[in-house]
A and B are shown apart, each in its own frame.
Chain A
Amino acid sequence: MARRAFASFSETLANPANRVQSYVSRSNDPYLNLSIEDHILRTSSPDSTVLFLYTNRPCVVIGRNQNPWTEVNLGILDAATRGGQAAKSTEPPAIGDVDLVRRRSGGGTVFHDEGNVNWSITCPRATFTRDLHAEMVVRALRKLGVDRARVNERHDIVLDQGHQKGAVEPSDTHRTPYTLRDGALPRPLKVSGSAYKLTRGRALHHATTLLASPNLHIIPQYLHSPAKPFIEAKGVDSVNSPVGNIGLAINIFQRHLQEEFTAMYGETSKHTIAEIVCEEHLNIPEIRKGYEELRTEEWMWSQTPQFTLTFHPSDHLEIEMNVHHGVIKAFDLKDDHQSTHTIRKIRTVLLEQRLQDIRGWNEFLRDHLEQWDEEAGIIADWLEKYMPILKLSKL
């Protein structure tokens, strides 16, 4: 019985008759919701347009081609996952467990929690533009009285903060009466960030929507990495923006967004499917496969674009470490004639080593070095502090 229900999710998605489909997730598991979304992208029929809404438990979500060490303050995530023992020695209040997730779409790092609704639209690539559905969401917000909402030049949604009310064409989703000229203060507050995944014939646009996050004041602590100044990374850097809450209840926003979606697509078709998905969808083999892929160490650490870490663990040491596909390819003193016995030993141990197999730098180096000295300790401590390699919890 249950099995048939899951099979029918894939069949419903793939059925060409269902040109307009709308789903809401009851799960707050970011890995599951991203995997259901990916399944929609891969399975839905070529001409269909599918809305999917979900809210995740607190997590930091990095873009496909980003570096977790430069984007995320991994030390406080770690403190959170280790719970009570570590909490006393680390500064921030900690929200509790905060998952670290690498998504399949491009773009920058975002924070999710229970006050954030993620909306996603999967549609034919031929009709897709990067603004099309952000504009749809702005229309929904304006109907809810959020008259400062507009789509900005980065395809995100912001709330304008201007004091004067100017004259603007009401249907213009890229301008509000409060829009100021570029760069003028106060800056608009970002409330929704977009990212995309494009495949054969299909386009996925997904975005956050900050409705009522209780964590706005802590988010910057999670997204500012102490290691960033030491890392030169290929790939994609996040663009920092001031963020704000829209101040709407989740269910009201979801309902209005579904209505706006139906207004945009539904009237041309009487076959609008609206369903709820949940944890049980993990029994669909394709969804489980995607779910497990997202939770691998490979995907989290080794997908990181090539980077070079340059650090001074002490006054007379400057070390350069290069990492490619998650594997240490170089570990050298910048000034080679100073090379010490310890450095040479550490280099031998670390070269060709996968980061994901180093659980703790101290432990790893102590296990692999025959002799331990002060210099090794200084290097291990520095790496432990700035380059933590978290155990992905609950794997």
Chain B
Amino acid sequence: MAARFSVARAARQLSSSAARRPSSRVTSPCQRWQAAAPVERRLFSVSAAVKEKKYTEDHEWIELSPDGKTCTFDTLGISSYAANQLGDVVYAELPKVDLEINAGDAIGAVESVKSASDILTPVGGKVTEINRVLEEKPGQLNKDPEGEGWIAKVEAAGEPEGKLMSKQEYTAFIEEA
């Protein structure tokens, strides 16, 4: 388990150091992936671990999408466990597109049963897209928190911070709590 986790980390470090290369800022991120084909291929061999959804101790999830279309855009959301704990979500406060964020920032909040709960991002960068469906239907956050109820997409500018867990590790973590 620990070994697999560290492979994922190493792969992440690789992909994020690529993202920090100055040239990647000039060319479109997707072109960069094509140009760096050898690196990509090497990454691809461990991509099952990279693409795996990761969970934070604050019950957010993050999914890196190195699929050639979205490149270093991470999708963020809250876990099913968190959605369940919150109760009926009545309002989702989403970040503005283009907002610059740091790892650990509250990028939004959800309100349920008179409670405002921060949504924290484990990764810094820039918000590229928000799930506008949640503005009309905040209940999506309860129905499908790890799918249709995603919160935002972020163009990552570095590695995620803090402890990230696999689904299995996360399940153990919430059972312990």
B63 at the interface (CB under 8 A from A): no
User: A200-B120, A236-B91 given as contacts; is B115 within 8 A of A325 (CB)?
Assistant: no
Among B18-26, B32-40, B42-50, B106-114, the one that faces the other chain is B106-114
Q: How many A-B residue pairs have CB under 8 A?
A: 60
CB–CB B116/A197 < 8 A: yes
A20 to B58, CA, bound (A): 24
B135 at the interface (CB under 8 A from A): yes
CB–CB B116/A65 < 8 A: yes
> Contact residues of B with A, CB < 8 Å?
58, 90-91, 93, 96, 109, 111-118, 120, 135, 177
A residues 89-110 near B (Cβ < 8 Å) are 104-108
Lowest 5 CB-CB distances: which A-B pairs, in order? A107-B114, A196-B115, A198-B117, A106-B116, A106-B111
For A64, the chain B residues whose CB sits under 8 A away are: 93, 109, 111, 116
Q: Which of B58, B90, B115 contacts A197 (CB 8 A)?
A: B115
CB–CB B135/A234 < 8 A: yes
A104 to B117, CA, bound (A): 10
For B116, the chain A residues whose CB sits under 8 A away are: 64-65, 104-106, 196-198
CB–CB A106/B115 < 8 A: yes
Closest chain A residue, CB of each to CB of B115: A196
Mostly helix, strand, loop or mixed at chain B's interface? strand
Q: Which of B115, B120, B177 contacts A105 (CB 8 A)?
A: B115
Closest chain A residue, CB of each to CB of B91: A65
CB–CB B115/A126 < 8 A: no
CB–CB B135/A306 < 8 A: yes
Q: A301 → chain B, closest Cβ, in Å?
A: 15
CB–CB B113/A130 < 8 A: yes
A201 to B113, CA, bound (A): 18
A88 to B58, CA, bound (A): 54
CB–CB B96/A195 < 8 A: no
A residues 185-217 near B (Cβ < 8 Å) are 194-201
A–B pairs, 29, beta carbons within 8 Å:
A63-B114, A64-B93, A64-B116, A65-B93, A65-B111, A105-B116, A106-B112, A106-B113, A106-B114, A106-B115, A106-B116, A107-B114, A107-B115, A126-B177, A130-B115, A154-B114, A155-B113, A196-B114, A197-B115, A198-B115, A198-B116, A198-B118, A199-B118, A200-B58, A234-B91, A234-B135, A236-B91, A305-B93, A306-B135
CB–CB B109/A236 < 8 A: no
A285 at the interface (CB under 8 A from B): no
Q: B113 → chain A, closest Cβ, in Å?
A: 6
A201 to B173, CA, bound (A): 14
A235 at the interface (CB under 8 A from B): yes
A260 to B166, CA, bound (A): 43
For B96, the chain A residues whose CB sits under 8 A away are: 325
For A201, the chain B residues whose CB sits under 8 A away are: 58
CB–CB A155/B114 < 8 A: yes
User: A234-B135, A235-B91 given as contacts; is B118 within 8 A of A105 (CB)?
Assistant: no
Q: Which of B90, B118, B135 contacts A236 (CB 8 A)?
A: B90
Hey, what's the 0/1 contact readout for A111-130 against B, CB within 8 Å counting as 1? 00000000000000010001
Q: A263 → chain B, closest Cβ, in Å?
A: 26
Closest chain A residue, CB of each to CB of B96: A325
A357 to B112, CA, bound (A): 31
Closest chain B residue, CB of each to CB of A235: B91
CB–CB B117/A195 < 8 A: no
Closest chain A residue, CB of each to CB of B117: A198
Question: 7 new A-B pairs (CB below 8 Å) besides A130-B113, A200-B120?
Answer: A63-B114, A65-B91, A106-B116, A108-B114, A196-B116, A198-B115, A198-B118
CB–CB A236/B111 < 8 A: yes
A residues 120-149 near B (Cβ < 8 Å) are 126, 130
Q: B88 → chain A, closest Cβ, in Å?
A: 12
A306 to B138, CA, bound (A): 13
Q: A144 → chain B, closest Cβ, in Å?
A: 26
Q: B26 → chain A, closest Cβ, in Å?
A: 31
Q: B143 → chain A, closest Cβ, in Å?
A: 18
A236 to B118, CA, bound (A): 17
A45 to B33, CA, bound (A): 45
Closest chain B residue, CB of each to CB of A64: B116
